[in-house]
A and B are shown apart, each in its own frame.
Chain A
Amino acid sequence: MDIKIASVDSVIIYFDNKISKEISNKVKATYSYLKQLNNQDFIDIIPSYSSILISYNILRYDFKKIKEYLKKELENINYEEETSSKLIEIDVYYAEEVGLDLKRVATLNNISIDEVIKLHSSKIYDVYTIGFLPGFAYLGIVDEKIATKRLESPRKKTPKGSVSIADTQTAVYPKDSPGGWNIIGKTAFEFFDKNLKELSPIDINTKVKFNPISKEEFLNQGGVI
């Protein structure tokens, strides 16, 4: 673990420089710990795959002081402890009419479309990080049989609700956006909602499972083809 300068008023804690469940769990445990410290001089705490950035009040801390403070606090964290996590189940209409790359994912991996759906919807995913767009959660890791590289050239518009795969990760586009991920289905589930107090039903401690539903159910939930 390493604490480095990020800017005049922020530091970044590095746990490693790779994507792994073990590192991610360390990030999550540390993030939860830092949050519960409730330190009013922390302005933002932003976890990612293998690091956490903390911006702080420089009228209260300088770099040396915050580094010492964090080092000391981080010693108290028990990484063995599994942080409590909520499971969110997300209904997905998997079909070529909304899953524009469903066939591509199947073809490139030499499996059937049904198998893509089965493999994608049978796993419980961890949230590795959130970013790119508000509520865009990077979920992993997908079964290697459906891991698929990004599109050669990104789409100008990936529709809101698109459930997609890029390499070993999967995600849902919380709104229309340019994007190069392979779209395999669509959900009516809102990943980002201004009406929620917390803005989003997910955070990095959430786990996610996708459930296949019929077109009829999708439409009943307010889904749009």
Chain B
Amino acid sequence: MSGLEIIKAGIYSTIQDKGRFSYMHLGVTNSGFMDEYAAFACNKLLKNEIHTNLLEILFPNVIFKVKAETTIAITGAKCEFFINNIPLDTWQAYKVKASDEIKIGKIQEGQRVYLAVKDGFDIEKEFGSNSTSMKEKFGGLNGDKLKNGDILPYKESTTFIKRKWKKSFLPKYEKEIVLRVILSYQYEDFDKEALDKFFSSIYTITPDFNSMACKLDGEKISCNISTLVSEAIAFGSIQIPKDGKPIILLKERQTIGGYPKIGTVLNIDCFKLAQMKPGYKVRFKKIGIEEAQQKAKEFLLTF
């Protein structure tokens, strides 16, 4: 079969697209690429629809064998990247032909590498999406992460346009970032002292960080609500569990939950968070809904 053969799958490489929508009322999570900036850019470099499926790679040493001519692009985390052992820059489109070997070596800055092929991988969607959801065993290839020997089929493409992401638009992967927060949900049930503490503290990302959620360590926040009737959880919601340590809920979050939420991280800042690692720091800063929506729209219109 023509496509990309997985020689070394790495520890956690999955197929993702924009995500799975309109099944959340049945408890099915959205999934989808964690860093939409890098994923959209990767598709844009190939003139794909920005929501086209691609690979999200979290750990180093992933090797592919090319079985048919196409164009690929790599974005996201700064990493060692080779075609036939020749080191190359990422955030750029490259032509590859049958029997070429693509390798992602060490990941140096950031957390998630994206690799797309022209027009995406030719695999069937499950419930509207190719996104792999490990929880539901949906999407990807058999609802699972990549394994050695898997073949990701795509249609051969012989045209090539050399494209490169503008240097001034390359994201910086920093060890401390500010996450803009929209006051939402139960923020009125947190007293001024708790809100002040939340917005003036520095939090550390714990190892409890995956596509479902990012648990933080730092100042404990207390809430005046002890029990809350379970309700739907939006992308980026910051829930405050009983131990007072904030948890930011991400793409593969549970659909409903009963912890109070102090606010919601602006989606485009969640994409930056997706490139951070345990031990890195975050701070929170308020943003009004009008400005937030303006920023989110500008983001979408960039692509």
Contacts and interface: CB of A to CB of B under 8 A. Distances in A.
A45 B22 CA distance: 7
A11 B254 CA distance: 17
Given A19-B229, A59-B300, A134-B136, A6 B185 contact: yes
A63 B231 CA distance: 20
Interface size class of A (residues with CB under 8 A): 35 or more
A203 B27 contact: no
Contact of B292 (A8, A129, A135): A8
Interface in B1-34: 21-28, 30
B127 to A, nearest CB: 7
A192 B184 CA distance: 32
B20 to A, nearest CB: 10
B27 A135 contact: yes
Contact of A44 (B21, B254, B257): B21
Contacts of A134: 26-28, 135-136
B230 A199 contact: no
Given A5-B182, A44-B22, A59-B300, A132 B254 contact: yes
Given A6-B185, A8-B293, A58-B296, A203 B231 contact: no
Q: How large is the interface on B (under 10, 10 to 19, 20 to 34, 35 or more residues)?
A: 35 or more
B267 interface: yes
Interface stretch (B71-79, B215-223, B233-241): B233-241
Interface in B125-140: 126-127, 135-136, 138
- Give the 9 A-B residue pairs with the shortest CB-CB distance, closest first: A131-B256, A53-B232, A7-B234, A46-B232, A7-B264, A6-B234, A134-B27, A5-B184, A10-B234
Interface of A: 4-10, 12, 17-19, 31, 43-53, 55, 58-59, 62-63, 129-136, 138, 192, 194, 199-200, 203-204
Given A8-B182, A50-B231, 16 more contacts: A6-B185, A7-B182, A7-B237, A8-B236, A8-B264, A8-B292, A9-B267, A9-B296, A12-B232, A19-B229, A46-B255, A53-B231, A59-B300, A130-B255, A131-B232, A194-B138
Interface of B: 21-28, 30, 126-127, 135-136, 138, 182-185, 228-237, 254-257, 264, 266-267, 289-290, 292-293, 296-297, 300
